[in-house]
Structure 1
Amino acid sequence: MNSDIDKNSVPDEGVAMLINRLRKNQRVLGKWARQQNIECFRLYDRDLPEYAFAIDCYGEYVQMAEYQAPSSIDEEKVRLRREQAITAVQEVLGIAREDIVLKSRERQRGTQQYEIQDQSKSFFVVNEGPARLWINLKDYLDTGLFLDHRPIRQFIRENAAGKRFLNLFCYTASASIQAALGGATSTLSIDLSNTYLDWARRNFLLNKIGGKNHRLKKADCIDYLSSKYEKFDLIFLDPPTFSNSKSSSNVLDIQRDHGSLIRNAMNKLERDGLLIFSTNKLNFKLDSESLKRFEIRDYTKFSLGKDFQRQKKIHQTWLISHKWSPPTY
C-alpha cells in the first residue's frame, strides 16, 4: 500500500534521525531478506534510545513493540514519540496506519503470554523457507512465530532427514513444521497450552502434515521428561524463563531448573543424537559443572540472523550431545 503521509509533516530532528535509520535498515535488511526469501524479520530494535521500539515486518504488516519507558519520562513525551515513530514507519515502508500493530513490550509472567488481548481473529499466512505459518499480530501478546529463532528452525530443517524429532514447549510448533518438511520420520510436539496447540494444529494442516507420525500432545514437559517413553534423534528444548501454569503443579524457573531439564531430555536422546537447548533469559548462566558428562557447544552466534546482530543477547543456544566412548568387549 502507498502511504498518504506528507513527507514534510514531520520536521522534528529526532524524527528525521529515526526516518534515516529506518531507511538505512530497510535498504540493508530488506535486500538481505529478499535474497534469503525471508518475509518476517526485525527491522529495528532500539537503534536510537529516544525511540525504544522493536519493529518487526511480517509480510505486508508491521508490529511495533514499545519498550516500557522509565517512570521519570513525561507521559505526554512518550505519547508524542510513539506517534512520531508510527509516522516514520508509515513513511519509510509506505504502509497505512491500519497495517501497523502497536504493542507494549513488558516482561510477562505465568500465563500472561497466552491470554487473549483482542478478539479480531486476524490470522494471515507467511512463508518461511518451504513452510507456511499462521500469524496473528492482534489477539495475543505473541505473534505465533519467534523471529530470533529463524536460524535454529533452519538448522532443524537441514538436519532432520530420517530423524525422530521432539519439540518441547513447542509453542505453535513452527520448529516441528520445519523438521517434517526437512524429512523427519516423526515429530512429537508438546505444550501445555490449548491455545498454542490449536494454533499448531492449524499450522500442520496448512502444510499438509499429519498422521500418526506427526503428533501434538498436551502435557507438562517436566512430567513428560520424567517418563520412560520413546527415544529421539533430535530434540529442541526452548523452555520459558518462568512458568507457573494453572494446569500444572510444577513451577519452572529456567535458571534454577535447566540442569535437570537438560539431563532428563538427554535421557530421551539416542546415543548419536543431538539436543538443541535455547533460552532468552537475560544473564542466563549455563551450569556446565552439572552437565559435564555431555559434549556442549555454544551455538549462540550461529543462531542469530542478520536482523538480530544488534541484540546479541536476545537468546543463547547450545548444541548438546552424549560423549562418545569406545565400545567395551
Structure 2
Amino acid sequence: ERSTAEAPSAIRGPVEAFANRLKKNIKNLGKWVKREQIHCYRLYDADIPEYAVAVDRYEQWLHVQEYVPPRSVDPAMAERRLLDILAVLPEVTGVPAEQIVLKRRERQSGKQQYEKHSNEKRTMAVREGQVNLLVNLRDYLDTGLFLDHRPVRKLLARLCTGKRFLNLFCYTASATVLAVQGGARESVNVDLSASYLDWARRNFELNGIDESRHRLLRTDCLKWLAGGGDREGGKFDVIFLDPPTFSNSKNMNETLDVQRDHERLISQAMALLAGDGVLVFSTNRRRFRLSENIATRFDVEDITARTIDRDFARRKNIHHCWLIRHRSAAGGA
C-alpha cells in the first residue's frame, strides 16, 4: 500500500538560513508582482554570501546561476551548499525539480555571456505586460530577456507612442516588442548576431509585429553609426543604446569597450536623433562613469534609480541609465 506520509523536509542544517531568506523574499515580493502582473523576476541574489547564487523565476520555471566561489572557499563545501540549494528550492517555491535550470556563472569578459553553454534550442514564451517574449533558459548564460531592464522597457513603451524608434545592439529585440505594444509606428533594430536577430524575428512573429515597418538589420553597430546610419526614413524620435560592456566578436573590425567608446557611440547616435527626441542610454558596467563632454554637450538626466525595480533593489548598480536630449530640447518630453 502506498504511503501517505509526507516526504521529509530538505530544510535542515545550515541551508535553513538560505531557505528562510528565500521565503522572506517571496513574501515581500508577492503582492508587488501580483499587482504589477510581473511573471519573470529575481527572487534571490546572493543575499547570504555563503549561498552565492541568483535565483530568477520565469513563469513556472526557476533559472539558478551559481557565482563561482573564490579560491579561498573549499570546492567541496561550495558543491555541498549548491546541492543543498537545489534540494530546498522545490519545497520553498513550489517549482518542481525538473523545472529548475542551473548554470555556473563566472565574472564575464569579452563575449562570454553570449557564448553557448548547451545546444538544446528549447525556447518558451513568457509574459511581460501585454506581450509575449521567448526565453531560452539552457543554451546561453543569459536567457534572451534582461530582467533588470524591465522598467526601461516600460519606459520605452511610454516614450514610443506614435514615434520612430531605433534599437541599437538590439539583442532579441524585447525592448522593441514593448515599444511597438506602446504604439511605436516604425522601428529599425540593429545587431551583428544572426542568431539573436532570428530570435528577434520570432519575438516579432509571436506578437504579430509587421517586419515591413519594424526592420531587423544585421550589421556591426559601430560601423553603421560611423557611416551615419540609415536616414531613409528621417531621424529617429526615440533611440535605445544599450551596448555590451565589452565585445571582441570575430565579425567586428574593432573591439568595443563601453567605458572607452561610449562618448563616440552617444555622439554618433545623437546625430540620428530628431531635435525634440530622446536617447535612452544604458549600461551594465558596474563602475561606469559618464563622459563629462556628454554632460556638457547634451541635456542629460540620470534616471538609474527610477529603473531599478524592487526585485533588484539590493543591487543598485545592476545597471546605469540616462535620458539624453539635444540642448534645445531641454525641458521637453
TM-score > 0.5, shorter chain as reference: yes
Structure 1 runs not aligned, ≥5 long? none
The equivalent residue for 2:132 is: 132
Q: Check conservation: 1:259, 1:291, Cα contact below 8 A.
A: no
1:151 match: 151
Q: Point out where structure 2 has 5 or more consecutive residues left out of the alignment.
A: none
Shift of 1:204: 0.2
After superposition, the Cα gap between the structure-2 partners of 1:246 and 1:5, relative to the gap in structure 1 and judged at 3 Å, is: farther
Q: What is residue 91 of structure 1 aligned with on the other side? A: 91
User: Which residue is 2:265 aligned to?
Assistant: 261
> Does 2:238 align with 1:234?
yes
Please list, as runs of the form range in 1=range in 2, the aligned pairs for 1:1-329 lying within 5 A after superposition. 6-12=7-13, 14-228=14-228, 229-230=230-231, 231-324=235-328
Identity %, equivalent residues: 48
The secondary structure found in structure 2 opposite 1:286 is: coil
Q: Match of 2:152, as an amino acid?
A: I
* Aligned amino acid, residue 211 of structure 2: G
Superposed displacement of residue 119, structure 1: 2.2
- Contact kept, 8 Å, 2:45 with 2:55, in 1: the verdict is yes
Tell whether the 8 Å contact from 2:111 to 2:246 is kept in structure 1 after alignment.
Answer: no
For 2:75 and 2:249, the matched residues in 1 are separated by: 34
CA contact (8 A) 2:276 2:329 kept: no
Does the CA contact (< 8 Å) of 1:114 and 1:195 recur in 2?
no
1:162 partner letter: G
SS of the residue corresponding to residue 70 of structure 1 reads coil
Deviation of 1:113 after TM superposition, in Å, equals 2.8
CA contact (8 A) 1:167 1:176 kept: yes
By how many angstroms is 1:5 displaced?
8.3
Contact in 1 for aligned 2:167/2:176 (Cα 8 Å)? yes
**TM-score normalised over the length of structure 2:** 0.93
Asked whether the 8 Å contact 2:187–2:215 carries over to 1, the reply is yes
* d(CA) in 2 for partners of 1:77, 1:102: 18
Counterpart-to-counterpart distance in 1, 2:182 and 2:92:
36
TM-superposed deviation, 1:296: 0.3
Once the two structures are superposed, residues 271-311 of structure 1 have per-residue CA deviations (whole angstroms, 9 ceiling, x without a partner) of: 10000000011211111234411000000000111101001
For 1:292, what is the secondary structure of its paired residue?
helix
Number of aligned pairs? 322
Change (3 A) 1:325 1:49: closer
For 2:153 and 2:6, the matched residues in 1 are separated by 38
8 Å Cα contact 1:282/1:313 also seen in 2: yes
C-alpha distance 272-218 of structure 1, shift in aligned 2 (>3 A): same
CA deviation after TM superposition for structure 1 residue 132, in Å: 0.4
The one-letter code of the counterpart of 1:209 is I
Structure 1 residue 325: deviation in Å?
7.4
On the 8 A contact 1:111/1:243 being kept in 2, the answer is: yes
Structure 1 contact 5–91 (Cα < 8 Å) conserved: no
> Shift of residue 41 of structure 1?
0.3
What is the CA-CA distance between 1:206 and the residue it aligns to?
0.1
Structure 2 Cα separation of the partners of residues 40 and 255 of structure 1? 30
- Aligned partner letter, 2:107: R
- The TM-score, its normalising length taken from structure 1, stands at 0.94
Q: Using a 3 Å threshold, how does the CA distance of structure 1 residues 211 and 197 change in structure 2: closer, same or farther?
A: closer
Measured in 1, the distance between the counterparts of 2:302 and 2:287 equals 15
- Secondary structure at the counterpart of residue 328 of structure 2: coil
Q: 1:149 to 1:5 in 2, by over 3 A?
A: farther
Per-residue CA distance 1:208-231 (angstroms, 9 max, x = gap) = 002321010101111111223321
Question: Which 10-residue stretch deviates more, 145-154 or 249-258?
Answer: 249-258
Q: Does the residue aligned with 1:55 lie in a helix, a strand or coil?
A: strand
Over 3 Å counting, the alpha-carbon distance change for 1:117 and 1:5 in structure 2 is farther
